[in-house]
A and B are shown apart, each in its own frame.
Chain A
Amino acid sequence: MTTAVDRIAIKAKERPGDRIFSTATVVAGSLILAVLAAVALFLFVQSIPAFVAPADAFKGDFTNFWSYVAPLAFGTVWSAFLALLMAVPVAIAVALFISHYAPRKLAQGLGYLIDLLAAVPSVVFGLWGIGVLAPLVQPFYASLVDWFGWFPLFAGPVSGTGRTILTVAIVLAVMVLPIITAICREIFLQTPVLYEEASLALGATRWEMITMAVLPFGRAGIISAAMLGLGRALGETMAVAMVLSPNPQVIFQLLTSQNSNTIAANIALNFPEAHGVGVNILLATGLVLFVITLIVNMIARVIINRRKAFSGAN
């Protein structure tokens, strides 16, 4: 009997196209893993000399690699965190405006405009940061320090040029805004119309409908959008290198001339003249950035998976 079943088991005829296509996807899928593994391996192998480098190989008063990389890692996370703090609420508001408030024609135009913002190269954002934004916000920073200097984050002395980590965070926020907005908009548009109509029929205002139906449904999506934005903010190099006035310490103050540098900007600043073990040290900081990004993405995955149950997605 079993042999008979085997014989009549339906097997679709494989055309050459099927085989080529499936092979192509398998190759593409494994290629991305191979590239990732190659980058990780390269970073790790090149980093080994940095981990055992003597104290005098480091610039400044550092005793070992970990004391060197700690302020940089802090600066990277701190600037990206500040950027997200500003970008996420604005991005959600813009996305909601496009998906639920704006007239259809305006919404479309606005969507295109925001996508356009994502196409601006980061070096242009950097030039804008030093040429326009920093001089513009400097007087504002000065009065902020005068009035709110008692608040630890706003402690002085104020930077005379405005090239502080807050300016960097604003530039980064503008850069990640289009990514977060575009994803949020798509998520909000996918809210089941039935939910929205149901809550409206129950007498909810538009605002209540959004808080009850749209936002809970899109929560996982908002988080993944924010994480994608965070990835860009963590890795941003050029704009930070151009705008930030760096200092090799852990510094929380937002408005002074001394700011913790980010890993990527530090590599960009020091690589051109680095030689010998200096190159290994910079690559090792790159490995740390790689690990930070991986951890952030893993945390995001965990949050999304946990929240899925409460959203309307299933």
Chain B
Amino acid sequence: MNLMRYGRPAVIAIAVALVLSSCASNEGGASTSTAGAAAETAVAGTINVAGASSQGSAQEAWISAFQTANPDVTINYDPSGSGAGRETFIAGGTDFAGSDSYLSDEELAGTFAACAPDTLAVDLPVYISPIAVIFNVEGVTDLNLDADTLAKIFTGAITTWNDPAIAALNEDATLPATAITAVHRSDDSGTTKNFADYLFQAAPDVWTEKPADPFPYQTGEGAQGTSGVVDAVTNGTGTIGYADASRAGDLGVAKIKVGEEFVEYTAEAAAAVVDGSPLVEGRADNDLAIKLDRLTTDATHYPLVLVSYALVCTEYADAEQGTLVKEYVSYMASEAGQEEAAASAGAAPLSADLQAKVAAVLETVK
């Protein structure tokens, strides 16, 4: 009984002390540190995020690193897909969104429930993943492809490996007469959309379907998820597919023709093409939506990449929540965050230049 009598006020006192102290440290953290270094800040609260599943494993790594540095913060990432992520964010259900495509003009014409009245959200690139063209053909270790041939393989116009079009690009290789099994994703995926976007721009005569999340052609073979595609390519004969480069493993990876040379994917080449691409025109100055230069002729660029964004408000209706989001997204786009994503999700780190640009925009987020 005695315990109860003294216990209750004691609990309340402790709780009040905790709340007050966490508020204080929250404000302190916001004023001293903005960019990078998750370890230095001490913020508290909960961030709910929904969006692209491509960012999923990177988000997991970011969340665990950020929560370790800030034990009072809880972050929930729901990998429900880019479309659903944007819808929820616009409706105010989440604090920011992860999305494989930037906000459309129609979406920007509307209002964002989580943002302060009359303010909009901006697109910040936080995750770059090169897409590798993987293949498993007996006796072939190196494969060169250009966009036209790649598009013809995946639309079913080229059906055997010793097709003249492939042979012309690979004079040194001995190509077998086996049939080509082109493996694509059977579920909706931003990887498919970016792969299709590259072919739609680089081989417009062959690939005529507009890029979208589902695979548009009724040829080839479907497999579930990135691991399903990798599995199908590994276990099949005469197979070719596309997957996040980090998952290519020991499979053969085709070189893609850029300009006059054949380029193999590297993290640097993927970051370079994003760096070399212009921003989408006609948007707010602080919006970093990138119009990927798929037609680049610079052989240090690898144009088959996926860029995923964090969509954040420029000014949050709830300022405290804004500070919290700012801290977390700053960490994601910082050097430490990008290294974390590279190590655990196989992403290509943003270039220092782009990191600085993202940080500069986040500086203004309220």
Residues of A within 8 A of B (CB): 59-60, 130-131, 134-135, 138, 157-163, 241-242, 244-249, 257-258, 261, 269-270, 272-276
Inter-chain contacts of A273 with B (CB < 8 A): 53, 80-84, 187-189, 213
Query: How many angstroms between the C-alpha atoms of A130 and B180 in the bound complex?
Result: 19
Within 8 A of A (CB), among B228-256: 228, 231-232, 235-239
Q: Which residues on B sit within 8 Å (CB–CB) of A135?
A: 235-236
Q: A160-B236, A249-B218, A270-B187 are in contact. List 4 more A-B contacts (CB 8 A).
A: A59-B214, A161-B236, A272-B81, A274-B188
Known contacts A59-B214, A269-B186; A130 and B181 CB within 8 A of each other: no
Known: A157-B159, A159-B181, A160-B181. A245 touches B186 (CB 8 A): yes
The number of A-B residue pairs with CB atoms under 8 Å apart is: 99
Query: How far is B82's CA from A272's CA once the two chains are assembled, in angstroms?
Result: 11
Q: Is the interface of A mostly helix, strand, loop or mixed?
A: loop
A138:B53 contact, CB within 8 angstroms: no
Interface assignment of B221: CB less than 8 Å from any CB of chain A? yes
| Chain B: minimal CB distance from A168 (Å) | 13
Smallest CB separation, B211 vs chain A (Å): 14
Closest partner residue, chain B, to A161 (CB atom): B236
Please, which residues of chain B bring their CB within 8 A of the CB of A247? 218, 222
Is B38's beta carbon under 8 Å from chain A?
no
Interface of B is mostly: loop
Whether, in the assembled complex, B46 has its beta carbon less than 8 Å from a beta carbon of chain A, the answer is: no
Residue of A nearest to B185 (CB): A269
Q: Do residues B235 and A161 form an inter-chain contact, with CB atoms below 8 A? A: yes
Cα(A135)–Cα(B186), bound, Å: 19
B356 at the interface (CB under 8 A from A): no
Kindly identify, within residues 73 to 108 of chain B, every residue whose CB is under 8 Å from any CB belonging to chain A: 79-84, 87
User: Are B223 and A245 closer than 8 Å at their CB atoms?
Assistant: yes
In the complex, what's the smallest C-beta–C-beta distance from B298 to chain A, in angstroms? 33
- The residue in chain A whose Cβ has the minimal distance to the Cβ of B228 is A242
Which B residues are in CB contact (< 8 Å) with A241?
186, 224
When distances are taken between beta carbons in the complex, the residues of chain B under 8 Å from A275 are 80-81, 83-84, 87
- Residues from chain B with Cβ under 8 Å of A59 in the complex: 214
* In-complex Cβ contact of B186 among A131, A157, A246, A276 (8 A): A246
